[in-house]
Amino acid sequence: MRREWDPADTGVLQLPSGRLVRGRGMHRDAPDEPLPDFGVYLLSRPPLPFEWESRWIRWPDFRTPHDPEDAHAVLYEAWVRSGRQRVEIACGRGRGRTGTALACLAVLDGLSPDEAVEFVRRHYHPRAVETPWQRRFVARSQT
Please state the rounded mean pLDDT for residues 88-95: 94
Reply yes or no on whether the pLDDT at 129 is more than 60. Answer: yes
Please state the rounded mean pLDDT for residues 37-50: 94
Reply yes or no on whether the pLDDT at 96 is more than 90. Answer: yes
pLDDT for 1 equals 46
Q: How far apart are CA 116 and CA 108, in angstroms?
A: 9
Supply the pTM of this predicted model. 0.94
For residue 82, CA distances in Å to 17, 59, 126, 136 come to: 11, 21, 23, 24
pLDDT for 29 equals 61
Q: What is the CB neighbour count within 10 angstroms for residue 77?
A: 14
Nearest to 105 by CA among 94, 93, 116: 116
23-27, 60-64, 78-82, 116-120: least confidently modelled range: 60-64
For residue 80, CA distances in Å to 26, 60, 102, 118 come to: 23, 25, 13, 22
Please state the rounded mean pLDDT for residues 21-50: 89
What's the CATH code, domain 16-140?
3.90.190.10
Beta carbons of 13 and 21 less than 8 angstroms apart: yes
